[in-house]
Amino acid sequence: MEKTTTPKTNMVFAREVKEGLSAFPKHLSSKYFYDEIGDKLFQQIMALPEYYLTRAEYTIFEQHKSEITASFSTPNVPFNLYELGAGDGTKTKLLLKELLKQKYQFEYRPIDISANALAQLSTSLTNELPNVSVRPIQGTYFDSLKEMGQTQEKKKVILFLGSNIGNLNHKLAVEFLMNIAHILNKDDLFFMGMDQKKHPRTILNAYSDPSGITAAFNKNVLTRINNELGGNFNLDNFIHWESYNPETGTAKSYLVSKIAQEVTIDILEQSFEFDAWETIHTEISQKYDDAMVYQMAEDAGLRVVNQFKDANSTFKNYLFTIA
C-alpha cells in the first residue's frame, strides 16, 4: 500500500487537528478526507444517482469538448495543462483525447494532495492515452500555485473542475482566485467548474445519500486521525449531517457527536471533550449563480471570457483570463 503522507505532512495534520478540535465550534479540514480509502469512497460517491455534479460536468465536456479545447490554445502553440485536484481524471480524459485528436502540443500536469490518486491516474493514462505527456505534482492548491508561478517557459492553462472552489469559504475563494490571477500571464487561461444554485432538496440529496457512502467519506477524517495520529474515535458515536441555506447557496457537512464523550489522540498527548450533539464542521460546498461568479472574478482581478453549461444549467464551467 502506497503511503499518502510523510512525517512532515503528519506533523501538519496533527497541528491542524489540534487547532480544529480545540476551537469552538470544532472543525476539521475536508482535505483530510482523502487517502486510499477516501479516494475510493469519493469515486463511489461520484457514481451515486443523487450526486449530479460529476454527470453534469461530464455532459458539458461531451457536448462542448471541441469548443472548450479550441479556447485553450491553437495546435501550433505548446502549453502546459495544469489540473488542480485531478482525482481520477475521468472527465479530463475527454479533453485530453480531444487535444490529441486535434494535434495540440501540451504537457498534462495533474496536481492532487493524494499520492494514491496521482499514482492511479498516471497508470490509467499510460494504459488509455499513452501519447499524453504527464508530469504529476503532489501538493495542496496553494503550494502548487507557487510552483506554477515560477514556471514561465510555456503558456499555462489551469483546470479546476468539479466545483472544488466551493470547498472554500467566500474570503478564501476570492483569495485563491487572486492567487490565480497573480500567476497568469497575458495569454494564460483558467478554466473552472462551479455548481449552480438549484432546488434545495436536490443539493441535500447529493450530500446525504441513503446508502451511507457520503457519511463514510465524511467520517474518514476520523479514521485517519485514529490510524495516523493514534486517536481513539468511535465512529459509531458520530453521525453525518448536511445542511443547505438557499439564501446564501452554502451547503455544510458536519459530524455530530451522539453522546457526551472524551477522545484521546496519542501523538498530541491530549484529550478532547464532546458534549452530546456537539458538531465538528468538516466541509463547505458553495453553490453559485452568474452574479456571484462575475463579482468574484472582478474582486480577484479576473475576467470571464466564456462559459459552458449543461441543458438545465445545473452546472457551469467558466473560462477566465486576467482582467
Q: What pLDDT, in 10s, does the model give residues 109-168? A: 999 888 888 999 999 999 999 999 999 999 887 788 877 877 767 899 999 999 999 999
Summarize the confidence of residues 294-301 as an average pLDDT. Answer: 98
Asked if residues 106 and 92 have their Cβ atoms less than 8 Å apart, the reply is no
- Taking each continuous run of H as one helix and of E as one strand, the counts in the chain are 10, 14
Q: How far apart are CA 125 and CA 169, in angstroms?
A: 33
Burial (CB count <10 Å: 0-12, 13-18, 19+), residue 320: buried
52-196+289-322: CATH superfamily: Vaccinia Virus protein VP39 (3.40.50.150)
Q: What is the pLDDT of residue 199?
A: 97
Compare 36 and 9 and report the one with higher pLDDT: 36
pLDDT of residue 113: 82
Residue 6, pLDDT score: 42
Strand order through the sheet with 238-245: 26-27, 279-286, 250-257, 238-245
At 226, which helix (H) or strand (E)? Answer: helix 213-229
Residue 263 is placed in which grid cell? 477522545
Confidence of residue 3 (pLDDT cuts 50, 70, 90): very low
Where are the domains positioned within the chain?
Answer: 7-33+202-286, 52-196+289-322
Q: What is the gyration radius of the CA atoms in the chain, in angstroms?
A: 20
Query: Percent of the chain scored above 70 by pLDDT?
Result: 97
- pLDDT mean over 184-210: 96
Q: What is the mean pLDDT of the chain?
A: 93
Question: What is the C-alpha separation between 223 and 232, in angstroms, rounded?
Answer: 9
Phi, psi of 193 (to 5 degrees): -90, 140
pLDDT of residue 8: 56
Q: Is the peptide bond before 25 cis (omega within 30 degrees of 0)?
A: yes
Q: How far is CA 220 from the centre of its chain?
A: 16
Average pLDDT of the residues in 210-218: 96
Q: Parallel, antiparallel, or unpaired for β 189-195 and 155-160?
A: parallel
79-84 and 250-257 strand pairing: unpaired
pLDDT at 4: 39
**Predicted confidence (pLDDT) at residue 9 exceeds the cutoff of 70:** no
Structure confidence at residue 220 as a pLDDT band (50, 70, 90): very high
80 contacts: CB under 8 Å, gap ≥ 6: 106, 107, 109, 151, 154, 155, 156, 157
pLDDT of residue 2: 33
Instruction: Give the model confidence (pLDDT) of 59-89 as tens digits.
Output: 999 999 999 999 998 888 999 999 998 888 8
